[in-house]
Structure 1
Amino acid sequence: MNWQQISFDWNQVRAFLVTAEEGSLSAAARALGLTQPTLSRQVMALEEQLGVTLFERVGKTLRLTQSGKDLLDHVREMGEAARKFSLVASGQSQSISGTVSVTASDTMAYENLPAFLLQLRSEAPLIDIEVIADNEISDLLRREADIAIRHVRPEEPDLIARLVGEITGSFYASHNYLTVHGRPQRIEDLSQHHFVGFGDRDRMVQYLLAMGLPISKEQFHVTSKSGIVAWKMVCEGIGISMMSDQVALSYPEVERLSLPIEPLRIPIWLTTHRELHTSRKIRLVFDKLANYLTSLSP
């Protein structure tokens, strides 16, 4: 079907787009400030106009059909154009001012946010950003932050969440460590190596065991709640740990282990509260940050 030859009702298109991003009619209705029956009617009207089924229900969630996936790519472009138009209509980015707080893990805040902030400074010079580098999940509902970058989808129903990308991760160690202790070639070899722990050691061990790796907590001689500190320990040759491939590429002193393990896939969720719909400064930062984080995906 040639989507570009069809005349769209923007309300119906927006209802479809937000439902696809939120994953359910109830969440989409909350995000748009509509009742669920109203939103459902808009989606059904679009399906009727197109003559296709856009969603199929799987349990309590909605799943895009192939027709829905085909349409979504075009609709996202329309949504981005609409957001840009909204910014122009309400004032150029250069004129929007105020402070927006963004929380992220200390590793992401250190490795990724500086490049984004440099870009934002040139595009919106009157926006001030407060970076909250914290590995604990800030409570957006209590206004501990305006925008959060998370690797798990938030469960709070009153928050707006958008899946903006996915990064891959692998196991890494320094050249010095591998020269001294040898390069593991098989999964079984990991039981003979030292590891650097991030966060709760017992939880990390359980996570690795669930992956089928023969790891015990006695192999974690160093742990830290700080991702930056833990990664520094890896770079200095203390042991093996996980890191995103995008970050590790910037550290020539480490190498990825050649193991028969699928790369870790880590989602990136951008989350904010309902003020996204009324605050120009939060809307501006949220949209620009979404575009930037999407570019990190391989």
Structure 2
Amino acid sequence: MAQTIGWELYRSLLGVLQQGSLSGAARELGLTQPTVGRHIATLEQQLGVVLFTRSQLGLLPTNAALALRGHAEAMASSAAALARLASGQGDAAKGLSGTVRITASEVVGVEVLPPIVKALRDQQPGITIELKLSNRVQDLLQREADIAVRMVRPTQNQLVARQVGQIELGLFAHPDYLAAHGTPSSLQDMAGHAFIGFDELTPYLRSVAQRLGVKREMFTLRSDSDLAQLALIRAAAGIGFCQVALAQRSEPPLQRLLASELSMQLDTWVTMHEDLRHSAACRVVFDALADGLQRHVASSTGA
């Protein structure tokens, strides 16, 4: 290909892939439907492939379009990261500004980060925070987020990482559940209880399950949302795993079970791409997260 293909064509391609139609992509991208159609036609011409076929169900992507999707998503993430980084290059005399995108697990994002973010915004009101909550590990190298809170040690050399400590995980139940169903004295006793846990076994959960000695088949209440699992425990629906600090501050406090048999320390890291060290906003957010999480880790000690 002699010509350079513009990003706007791939942006329209991704829009159609995500929305399933030209009209849906146009609404999502703020363009007209004919413009999106021209983008797709131009991209097909320049690449020399057919990207979509029409059917009663709408536009169906060809194998060529599906092969391009991951690269288009990476371009979209890079473009968004560029916009966030550029937004923070304003007048330093007016204070820090810009948008910083943080990714964390659901339970950390809902139960742990809000007071940290609130304190940060009190000190730096010019910084806009985006929270991307997912139990999938977001790819910082692809710029899906600027800063990540992770329970596994990052291995990529291009990442700046700070370990903030270990969060203890234990087995807990609501006092009302135990009053109604009794307190198990061993892991074998769990067979007669409502045991809350995961449904889909991801590689990370597999390593956790192996260390704790539990299997999917043992769970009678299953969810891949750690927030849903925590809500079930707090609703006295059964017994499940929970961070010690979150169990202690529940109302009423959750009761810990089998502490000597079922305990696990989760390494906790704050990470960001090394290129973002030059962004003052990212550095401030990184340090605020690390400091706040260190306080949370300190509150996790104890039974």
CA distance in 2, matches of 1:283, 1:114: 18
Larger Rg: 2
The within-5 A match list for 1:73-92 is none
Q: Aligned with 1:117: secondary structure?
A: helix
Structure 1 match to 2:105: 105
Structure 2 match to 1:181: 181
The 8 Å contact of residues 197 and 241 in structure 2, kept in 1 or not, is answered as no
CA distance in 1, matches of 2:263, 2:233: 19
Structure 1 match to 2:88: none
Q: Aligned with 2:297: secondary structure?
A: coil
What is the total number of aligned residue pairs between the two structures?
206
The structural deviation recorded for 1:125 is 1.0
Q: TM-score, normalised by structure 2?
A: 0.62
Residue identity in the other structure for 2:282? I
The structural deviation recorded for 1:218 is 3.5
The within-5 A match list for 1:10-21 is none
Structure 1: unaligned runs, 5 residues or longer: 1-89
Q: Aligned with 1:266: secondary structure?
A: strand
Relative to structure 2, which stretch is displaced further, 166-175 or 218-227? 218-227
Structure 2 match to 1:138: 138
The within-5 A match list for 1:1-298 is 95-198=95-198, 200-201=200-201, 204=205, 207-211=208-212, 213=213, 215-253=214-252, 254-261=254-261, 263-298=263-298
Q: Deviations over 1:35-82 (max 9, x none)?
A: xxxxxxxxxxxxxxxxxxxxxxxxxxxxxxxxxxxxxxxxxxxxxxxx
Q: TM-score, normalised by structure 1?
A: 0.63
CA distance in 2, matches of 1:170, 1:102: 26
* Root mean square deviation of aligned Cα: 2.3
The 8 Å contact of residues 184 and 259 in structure 1, kept in 2 or not, is answered as no
Relative to structure 2, which stretch is displaced further, 159-168 or 180-189? 180-189
Q: 1:262 to 1:226 in 2, by over 3 A?
A: closer
Q: Deviations over 1:116-143 (max 9, x none)?
A: 1110111111001000111100111111
CA distance in 1, matches of 2:163, 2:243: 17
CA distance in 2, matches of 1:217, 1:273: 35
Residue identity in the other structure for 1:155? T
The structural deviation recorded for 1:230 is 1.3
Residue identity in the other structure for 2:251? P
Percent identity between the aligned chains? 33
The 8 Å contact of residues 198 and 219 in structure 2, kept in 1 or not, is answered as no
Residue identity in the other structure for 2:267? P
Q: Aligned with 1:119: secondary structure?
A: helix
Q: 1:258 to 1:197 in 2, by over 3 A?
A: closer
The structural deviation recorded for 1:199 is 5.3
Q: 1:162 to 1:202 in 2, by over 3 A?
A: closer
CA distance in 2, matches of 1:125, 1:277: 20
Relative to structure 2, which stretch is displaced further, 252-261 or 282-291? 252-261
Residue identity in the other structure for 1:223? R
Q: Aligned with 1:296: secondary structure?
A: helix
Structure 2: unaligned runs, 5 residues or longer: 1-90, 299-303
Q: Aligned with 1:234: secondary structure?
A: helix
The structural deviation recorded for 1:185 is 1.9
Q: Aligned with 2:221: secondary structure?
A: strand
The structural deviation recorded for 1:200 is 2.3
Q: 1:210 to 1:102 in 2, by over 3 A?
A: closer
Q: 1:205 to 1:143 in 2, by over 3 A?
A: closer
The structural deviation recorded for 1:207 is 4.0
The 8 Å contact of residues 168 and 263 in structure 1, kept in 2 or not, is answered as yes
The structural deviation recorded for 1:171 is 0.4
Q: Aligned with 1:295: secondary structure?
A: helix
Q: 1:247 to 1:158 in 2, by over 3 A?
A: same
CA distance in 1, matches of 2:117, 2:167: 20
Q: 1:150 to 1:237 in 2, by over 3 A?
A: same
Residue identity in the other structure for 1:134? S
